Protein backbone atom coordinates (compact mmCIF):
# COMPACT_ATOMS: atom_id res chain seq x y z
CA UNK A 1 0.00 0.00 0.00
CA UNK A 2 1.43 3.36 -0.99
CA UNK A 3 2.10 5.91 1.66
CA UNK A 4 -0.36 8.20 -0.10
CA UNK A 5 -3.11 5.60 0.10
CA UNK A 6 -2.23 4.89 3.71
CA UNK A 7 -2.47 8.56 4.49
CA UNK A 8 -5.80 8.81 2.70
CA UNK A 9 -7.14 5.77 4.53
CA UNK A 10 -6.03 7.30 7.83
CA UNK A 11 -7.86 10.51 7.00
CA UNK A 12 -10.97 8.58 6.08
CA UNK A 13 -10.79 6.47 9.23
CA UNK A 14 -10.31 9.54 11.37
CA UNK A 15 -13.28 11.18 9.75
CA UNK A 16 -15.41 8.12 10.45
CA UNK A 17 -14.14 7.94 14.01
CA UNK A 18 -14.85 11.61 14.46
CA UNK A 19 -18.37 11.14 13.16
CA UNK A 20 -18.91 8.15 15.43
CA UNK A 21 -17.80 10.23 18.39
CA UNK A 22 -20.21 12.98 17.42
CA UNK A 23 -23.81 13.00 18.49
CA UNK A 24 -26.32 10.79 16.70
CA UNK A 25 -23.52 8.96 15.05
CA UNK A 26 -22.70 5.86 13.09
CA UNK A 27 -25.34 4.18 11.06
CA UNK A 28 -28.01 6.84 11.51
CA UNK A 29 -26.33 10.24 11.37
CA UNK A 30 -28.43 13.10 12.66
CA UNK A 31 -30.63 10.94 14.86
CA UNK A 32 -30.42 11.32 18.65
CA UNK A 33 -28.02 13.33 20.78
CA UNK A 34 -26.12 12.82 24.02
CA UNK A 35 -28.21 13.40 27.12
CA UNK A 36 -26.80 16.02 29.50
CA UNK A 37 -26.00 15.02 33.09
CA UNK A 38 -28.83 17.32 34.24
CA UNK A 39 -31.31 15.56 31.97
CA UNK A 40 -30.26 12.13 33.16
CA UNK A 41 -30.47 13.21 36.80
CA UNK A 42 -33.96 14.61 36.24
CA UNK A 43 -35.35 11.34 34.90
CA UNK A 44 -33.16 8.55 36.29
CA UNK A 45 -34.96 8.17 39.62
CA UNK A 46 -35.23 4.39 39.93
CA UNK A 47 -33.89 2.58 43.00
CA UNK A 48 -32.79 -1.05 42.68
CA UNK A 49 -32.98 -3.77 45.34
CA UNK A 50 -29.25 -3.23 46.01
CA UNK A 51 -30.17 0.46 46.59
CA UNK A 52 -28.31 1.70 43.53
CA UNK A 53 -29.97 5.00 42.74
CA UNK A 54 -31.06 5.77 46.32
CA UNK A 55 -30.51 9.47 47.11
CA UNK A 56 -29.11 10.62 50.46
CA UNK A 57 -31.67 11.72 53.02
CA UNK A 58 -33.61 10.68 56.10
CA UNK A 59 -37.02 10.79 57.74
CA UNK A 60 -38.45 9.79 61.10
CA UNK A 61 -41.58 7.77 61.88
CA UNK A 62 -43.07 10.84 63.58
CA UNK A 63 -42.48 13.04 60.53
CA UNK A 64 -43.88 10.26 58.36
CA UNK A 65 -47.10 10.24 60.37
CA UNK A 66 -47.59 13.96 59.69
CA UNK A 67 -47.07 13.53 55.96
CA UNK A 68 -49.26 10.43 55.95
CA UNK A 69 -52.21 12.07 57.63
CA UNK A 70 -51.99 15.06 55.29
CA UNK A 71 -51.42 13.35 51.97
CA UNK A 72 -51.96 9.60 52.13
CA UNK A 73 -54.60 8.64 54.69
CA UNK A 74 -57.60 9.75 52.58
CA UNK A 75 -56.98 6.84 50.20
CA UNK A 76 -55.04 4.36 52.30
CA UNK A 77 -56.61 4.84 55.75
CA UNK A 78 -55.02 6.29 58.85
CA UNK A 79 -53.23 3.04 59.54
CA UNK A 80 -52.63 1.94 55.96
CA UNK A 81 -55.39 -0.59 56.45
CA UNK A 82 -58.08 0.86 54.19
CA UNK A 83 -59.60 -1.29 51.49
CA UNK A 84 -61.94 1.45 50.28
CA UNK A 85 -59.90 2.85 47.42
CA UNK A 86 -56.82 0.67 47.16
CA UNK A 87 -55.93 -2.68 48.62
CA UNK A 88 -54.50 -2.39 52.13
CA UNK A 89 -50.82 -1.68 52.60
CA UNK A 90 -50.23 -2.82 56.14
CA UNK A 91 -51.48 -5.73 58.24
CA UNK A 92 -51.11 -9.49 58.33
CA UNK A 93 -47.45 -9.62 59.34
CA UNK A 94 -46.03 -10.65 62.70
CA UNK A 95 -42.86 -10.24 64.78
CA UNK A 96 -42.09 -13.83 63.89
CA UNK A 97 -42.25 -13.01 60.17
CA UNK A 98 -39.67 -10.25 60.74
CA UNK A 99 -37.38 -12.96 62.18
CA UNK A 100 -37.95 -15.61 59.50
CA UNK A 101 -38.44 -13.44 56.46
CA UNK A 102 -41.51 -15.47 55.47
CA UNK A 103 -45.04 -14.21 56.06
CA UNK A 104 -46.92 -17.11 57.65
CA UNK A 105 -50.38 -15.78 56.73
CA UNK A 106 -49.65 -16.30 53.04
CA UNK A 107 -50.30 -19.97 53.76
CA UNK A 108 -53.86 -19.18 54.89
CA UNK A 109 -56.07 -19.60 51.81
CA UNK A 110 -58.72 -17.25 53.20
CA UNK A 111 -56.37 -14.41 54.12
CA UNK A 112 -56.27 -11.22 52.10
CA UNK A 113 -52.87 -9.92 51.11
CA UNK A 114 -51.46 -6.55 52.08
CA UNK A 115 -48.48 -4.89 50.43
CA UNK A 116 -46.26 -5.56 53.42
CA UNK A 117 -47.21 -9.24 53.40
CA UNK A 118 -46.03 -9.56 49.80
CA UNK A 119 -43.13 -7.25 49.17
CA UNK A 120 -39.62 -8.65 49.68
CA UNK A 121 -37.58 -5.62 48.66
CA UNK A 122 -37.61 -2.37 50.63
CA UNK A 123 -36.31 -0.52 47.57
CA UNK A 124 -39.62 -1.19 45.84
CA UNK A 125 -41.62 0.61 48.52
CA UNK A 126 -39.30 3.62 48.55
CA UNK A 127 -39.13 3.80 44.75
CA UNK A 128 -42.88 3.68 44.21
CA UNK A 129 -43.75 6.24 46.86
CA UNK A 130 -41.09 8.48 45.34
CA UNK A 131 -42.19 8.11 41.72
CA UNK A 132 -45.94 7.79 41.93
CA UNK A 133 -47.32 9.09 45.24
CA UNK A 134 -49.49 10.82 46.27
CA UNK A 135 -51.80 9.47 43.63
CA UNK A 136 -53.15 12.82 42.48
CA UNK A 137 -49.81 14.66 42.75
CA UNK A 138 -47.06 12.18 41.95
CA UNK A 139 -43.42 13.14 42.52
CA UNK A 140 -44.41 16.01 44.81
CA UNK A 141 -42.86 14.58 47.99
CA UNK A 142 -39.35 15.65 49.02
CA UNK A 143 -36.69 12.95 49.38
CA UNK A 144 -36.85 13.27 53.17
CA UNK A 145 -40.64 12.95 53.09
CA UNK A 146 -40.32 9.71 51.12
CA UNK A 147 -37.98 8.33 53.79
CA UNK A 148 -40.38 9.52 56.49
CA UNK A 149 -43.49 7.95 54.93
CA UNK A 150 -41.59 4.70 54.35
CA UNK A 151 -40.46 4.73 58.00
CA UNK A 152 -44.04 5.34 59.17
CA UNK A 153 -45.37 2.39 57.16
CA UNK A 154 -42.60 0.12 58.41
CA UNK A 155 -43.42 1.14 61.95
CA UNK A 156 -47.13 0.38 61.42
CA UNK A 157 -46.06 -3.07 60.27
CA UNK A 158 -43.85 -3.66 63.27
CA UNK A 159 -40.64 -3.65 61.26
CA UNK A 160 -39.03 -0.62 62.92
CA UNK A 161 -39.63 1.00 66.34
CA UNK A 162 -41.57 4.22 66.89
CA UNK A 163 -38.48 6.37 67.47
CA UNK A 164 -36.82 5.17 64.25
CA UNK A 165 -35.31 7.39 61.59
CA UNK A 166 -34.88 5.77 58.19
CA UNK A 167 -32.04 6.98 55.97
CA UNK A 168 -29.87 5.96 53.03
CA UNK A 169 -27.36 4.75 55.66
CA UNK A 170 -29.64 2.16 57.26
CA UNK A 171 -31.91 1.02 54.40
CA UNK A 172 -29.82 -2.12 53.81
CA UNK A 173 -30.04 -3.00 57.48
CA UNK A 174 -33.83 -2.56 57.50
CA UNK A 175 -34.05 -4.70 54.35
CA UNK A 176 -32.86 -7.56 56.58
CA UNK A 177 -36.07 -7.13 58.67
CA UNK A 178 -38.59 -7.16 55.79
CA UNK A 179 -41.27 -9.72 56.78
CA UNK A 180 -41.45 -11.47 53.40
CA UNK A 181 -37.83 -10.99 52.29
CA UNK A 182 -37.39 -14.73 51.75
CA UNK A 183 -40.78 -15.24 50.11
CA UNK A 184 -39.84 -14.92 46.43
CA UNK A 185 -38.87 -17.60 43.96
CA UNK A 186 -38.04 -17.58 40.26
CA UNK A 187 -38.26 -21.32 39.62
CA UNK A 188 -40.63 -21.10 36.69
CA UNK A 189 -40.54 -21.14 32.91
CA UNK A 190 -42.17 -17.75 32.48
CA UNK A 191 -39.06 -15.59 32.14
CA UNK A 192 -37.59 -15.77 28.66
CA UNK A 193 -33.87 -16.19 29.33
CA UNK A 194 -31.43 -17.73 31.77
CA UNK A 195 -30.91 -14.75 34.05
CA UNK A 196 -32.81 -16.36 36.93
CA UNK A 197 -31.32 -19.82 36.57
CA UNK A 198 -33.71 -20.65 33.76
CA UNK A 199 -36.31 -23.34 34.19
CA UNK A 200 -37.47 -24.11 30.66
CA UNK A 201 -40.04 -26.82 31.27
CA UNK A 202 -43.63 -25.64 31.69
CA UNK A 203 -45.32 -26.65 34.96
CA UNK A 204 -48.40 -28.16 33.29
CA UNK A 205 -48.38 -30.96 30.71
CA UNK A 206 -51.76 -31.55 29.11
CA UNK A 207 -52.02 -33.93 26.18
CA UNK A 208 -54.24 -33.39 23.14
CA UNK A 209 -56.47 -36.46 23.58
CA UNK A 210 -59.17 -36.60 20.89
CA UNK A 211 -61.61 -39.49 21.72
CA UNK A 212 -63.27 -40.66 24.93
CA UNK A 213 -60.98 -38.44 26.95
CA UNK A 214 -62.70 -37.54 30.16
CA UNK A 215 -65.41 -38.97 32.37
CA UNK A 216 -68.87 -37.41 32.27
CA UNK A 217 -68.41 -33.75 32.91
CA UNK A 218 -70.10 -32.28 35.93
CA UNK A 219 -70.61 -28.59 36.45
CA UNK A 220 -68.79 -27.59 39.62
CA UNK A 221 -69.24 -23.85 39.47
CA UNK A 222 -71.54 -21.34 37.83
CA UNK A 223 -72.89 -17.92 38.67
CA UNK A 224 -75.66 -17.96 41.24
CA UNK A 225 -79.06 -16.69 40.03
CA UNK A 226 -78.87 -13.53 42.07
CA UNK A 227 -75.76 -12.47 40.14
CA UNK A 228 -77.58 -12.81 36.81
CA UNK A 229 -77.74 -9.07 36.17
CA UNK A 230 -74.66 -8.05 38.18
CA UNK A 231 -72.76 -7.03 35.07
CA UNK A 232 -75.68 -5.13 33.56
CA UNK A 233 -78.16 -6.40 30.99
CA UNK A 234 -76.20 -8.71 28.69
CA UNK A 235 -78.80 -8.19 25.94
CA UNK A 236 -77.36 -4.69 25.59
CA UNK A 237 -73.78 -5.95 25.50
CA UNK A 238 -74.14 -8.05 22.37
CA UNK A 239 -74.63 -7.28 18.70
CA UNK A 240 -78.25 -6.98 17.58
CA UNK A 241 -77.67 -9.05 14.45
CA UNK A 242 -76.05 -12.45 13.91
CA UNK A 243 -76.44 -16.04 15.07
CA UNK A 244 -77.08 -15.17 18.68
CA UNK A 245 -78.21 -12.35 20.95
CA UNK A 246 -77.31 -11.36 24.45
CA UNK A 247 -79.45 -12.88 27.16
CA UNK A 248 -81.94 -10.45 28.68
CA UNK A 249 -80.62 -10.65 32.21
CA UNK A 250 -82.99 -7.95 33.43
CA UNK A 251 -85.59 -10.75 33.49
CA UNK A 252 -85.49 -14.18 35.12
CA UNK A 253 -84.18 -16.91 32.90
CA UNK A 254 -86.68 -18.53 30.53
CA UNK A 255 -87.35 -22.24 30.91
CA UNK A 256 -87.61 -23.00 27.24
CA UNK A 257 -86.27 -21.65 24.03
CA UNK A 258 -88.46 -18.80 22.88
CA UNK A 259 -88.93 -17.41 26.37
CA UNK A 260 -85.63 -15.60 26.17
CA UNK A 261 -85.19 -11.89 25.78
CA UNK A 262 -83.47 -12.37 22.46
CA UNK A 263 -86.51 -13.89 20.86
CA UNK A 264 -88.65 -11.14 22.32
CA UNK A 265 -86.32 -8.58 20.80
CA UNK A 266 -86.59 -10.32 17.46
CA UNK A 267 -90.35 -10.15 17.69
CA UNK A 268 -90.21 -6.42 18.28
CA UNK A 269 -87.88 -5.96 15.34
CA UNK A 270 -90.12 -7.97 13.04
CA UNK A 271 -93.23 -6.20 14.16
CA UNK A 272 -91.72 -2.83 13.34
CA UNK A 273 -92.25 -2.64 9.55
CA UNK A 274 -95.94 -3.35 9.99
CA UNK A 275 -96.15 -0.71 12.70
CA UNK A 276 -94.74 1.94 10.43
CA UNK A 277 -97.91 2.66 8.54
CA UNK A 278 -99.88 2.96 11.74
CA UNK A 279 -97.51 5.53 13.19
CA UNK A 280 -98.08 8.41 10.82
CA UNK A 281 -98.35 12.01 12.06
CA UNK A 282 -102.04 11.48 12.77
CA UNK A 283 -101.24 8.73 15.19
CA UNK A 284 -99.01 10.97 17.31
CA UNK A 285 -99.57 10.42 21.00
CA UNK A 286 -102.25 7.87 20.32
CA UNK A 287 -100.44 4.73 19.32
CA UNK A 288 -97.93 4.08 22.06
CA UNK A 289 -97.13 0.61 20.88
CA UNK A 290 -96.35 1.69 17.34
CA UNK A 291 -94.07 4.46 18.55
CA UNK A 292 -92.15 2.04 20.74
CA UNK A 293 -91.79 -0.26 17.77
CA UNK A 294 -90.42 2.66 15.76
CA UNK A 295 -87.77 3.36 18.38
CA UNK A 296 -86.72 -0.27 18.17
CA UNK A 297 -86.73 -0.25 14.38
CA UNK A 298 -84.51 2.82 14.20
CA UNK A 299 -82.30 1.49 17.01
CA UNK A 300 -83.04 4.41 19.29
CA UNK A 301 -83.25 1.74 21.96
CA UNK A 302 -79.56 0.96 21.56
CA UNK A 303 -78.81 4.23 23.37
CA UNK A 304 -82.06 5.12 25.15
CA UNK A 305 -83.92 2.94 27.62
CA UNK A 306 -87.61 3.41 28.36
CA UNK A 307 -86.94 4.41 31.95
CA UNK A 308 -83.17 4.05 32.15
CA UNK A 309 -80.11 5.73 30.73
CA UNK A 310 -77.92 3.69 28.42
CA UNK A 311 -75.67 5.94 26.40
CA UNK A 312 -78.20 8.72 26.20
CA UNK A 313 -81.05 9.74 28.52
CA UNK A 314 -84.14 7.61 29.14
CA UNK A 315 -87.20 8.28 26.96
CA UNK A 316 -89.08 9.13 30.15
CA UNK A 317 -86.49 11.80 30.99
CA UNK A 318 -86.65 13.31 27.50
CA UNK A 319 -90.44 13.32 27.67
CA UNK A 320 -90.49 15.03 31.04
CA UNK A 321 -88.08 17.75 29.96
CA UNK A 322 -89.65 18.42 26.56
CA UNK A 323 -93.40 18.14 27.07
CA UNK A 324 -95.18 19.60 24.04
CA UNK A 325 -91.98 20.32 22.13
CA UNK A 326 -92.54 17.91 19.23
CA UNK A 327 -90.94 20.09 16.56
CA UNK A 328 -87.85 20.73 18.68
CA UNK A 329 -87.43 17.00 19.32
CA UNK A 330 -87.96 16.09 15.67
CA UNK A 331 -85.20 18.55 14.78
CA UNK A 332 -82.91 17.09 17.44
CA UNK A 333 -83.47 13.58 16.15
CA UNK A 334 -82.62 14.61 12.59
CA UNK A 335 -79.66 16.88 13.34
CA UNK A 336 -78.25 15.29 16.47
CA UNK A 337 -76.97 17.16 19.48
CA UNK A 338 -74.75 17.19 22.50
CA UNK A 339 -74.38 18.88 25.83
CA UNK A 340 -78.00 18.70 26.91
CA UNK A 341 -77.74 15.36 28.68
CA UNK A 342 -73.99 14.95 28.95
CA UNK A 343 -70.82 14.90 26.97
CA UNK A 344 -71.63 11.95 24.70
CA UNK A 345 -73.10 13.40 21.48
CA UNK A 346 -76.04 11.91 19.62
CA UNK A 347 -75.15 11.70 15.92
CA UNK A 348 -77.67 12.96 13.32
CA UNK A 349 -80.15 10.17 12.65
CA UNK A 350 -80.91 9.07 9.11
CA UNK A 351 -84.52 7.99 9.59
CA UNK A 352 -87.24 9.53 7.40
CA UNK A 353 -89.14 12.67 8.29
CA UNK A 354 -92.40 10.84 9.00
CA UNK A 355 -90.91 8.48 11.56
CA UNK A 356 -88.82 11.22 13.19
CA UNK A 357 -91.96 13.29 13.69
CA UNK A 358 -93.89 10.31 15.01
CA UNK A 359 -91.23 9.54 17.61
CA UNK A 360 -90.92 13.22 18.52
CA UNK A 361 -94.69 13.52 18.95
CA UNK A 362 -94.73 10.43 21.14
CA UNK A 363 -91.97 11.85 23.34
CA UNK A 364 -93.58 15.28 23.51
CA UNK A 365 -96.82 13.74 24.65
CA UNK A 366 -95.21 11.92 27.56
CA UNK A 367 -93.77 8.78 26.00
CA UNK A 368 -96.81 6.70 26.79
CA UNK A 369 -97.22 8.04 30.31
Three-state DSSP class for residue 125: helix
What's the closest the beta carbon of residue 166 comes to another protein, in angstroms?
A: 18
What's the closest the beta carbon of residue 163 comes to another protein, in angstroms?
A: 27
Q: For 246, list phi and psi in degrees, rounded to 5.
A: -75, 150
Between 3 and 110, CB nearer to another protein = 110
Three-state DSSP class for residue 346: strand
Between 39 and 96, CB nearer to another protein = 39
Q: Return the H-helix or E-strand segment holding 167.
A: strand 165-167
**Considering just the CA atoms, what is the radius of gyration of the chain in Å?**
34
Taken as a whole, the chain contains a residue count of 369
What's the closest the beta carbon of residue 324 comes to another protein, in angstroms?
A: 27
Between 12 and 42, CB nearer to another protein = 42
The answer to whether residues 286 and 347 touch, using CB atoms and an 8 Å cutoff, is: no
Between 70 and 198, CB nearer to another protein = 198
Between 32 and 176, CB nearer to another protein = 32
Three-state DSSP class for residue 205: coil
Between 249 and 365, CB nearer to another protein = 249
What's the closest the beta carbon of residue 262 comes to another protein, in angstroms?
A: 4
Between 79 and 128, CB nearer to another protein = 128
What's the closest the beta carbon of residue 226 comes to another protein, in angstroms?
A: 4
The residues, ordered by sequence, that sit 6+ positions from 134 with a Cβ below 8 Å of its Cβ are 71, 72, 75, 140, 141
DSSP state of 20: H
Between 100 and 322, CB nearer to another protein = 100
SS (H, E, C) 259-324: CCHHHHHHHHHHHHHHHHHHCCHHHCCCCHHHHHHHHHHCCHHHCECCCCECCCCCHHHHHHHCCC
Residue 319 CB neighbours (<10 A): 20
The answer to whether residues 364 and 324 touch, using CB atoms and an 8 Å cutoff, is: yes
What's the closest the beta carbon of residue 281 comes to another protein, in angstroms?
A: 17
What's the closest the beta carbon of residue 190 comes to another protein, in angstroms?
A: 4
What's the closest the beta carbon of residue 158 comes to another protein, in angstroms?
A: 18
The answer to whether residues 180 and 101 touch, using CB atoms and an 8 Å cutoff, is: yes
How far is the C-alpha of 155 from the C-alpha of 61, rounded, in Å?
7
How far is the C-alpha of 132 from the C-alpha of 141, rounded, in Å?
10
Q: Return the H-helix or E-strand segment holding 149.
A: helix 143-156
What's the closest the beta carbon of residue 220 comes to another protein, in angstroms?
A: 4
Q: For 167, list phi and psi in degrees, rounded to 5.
A: -150, 175
Amino acid sequence: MSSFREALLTVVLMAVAGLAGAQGAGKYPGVGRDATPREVAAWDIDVRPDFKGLPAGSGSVARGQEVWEGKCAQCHGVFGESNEVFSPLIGGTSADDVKTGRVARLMDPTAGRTTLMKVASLSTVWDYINRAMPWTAPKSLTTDEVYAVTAFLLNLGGVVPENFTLSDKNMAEVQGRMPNRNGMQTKHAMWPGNEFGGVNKADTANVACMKNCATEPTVASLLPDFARNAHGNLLEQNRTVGPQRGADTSKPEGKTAGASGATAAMAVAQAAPAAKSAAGPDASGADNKAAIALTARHSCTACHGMGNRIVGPAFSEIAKKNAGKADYLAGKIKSGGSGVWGAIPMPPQTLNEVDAKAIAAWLASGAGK
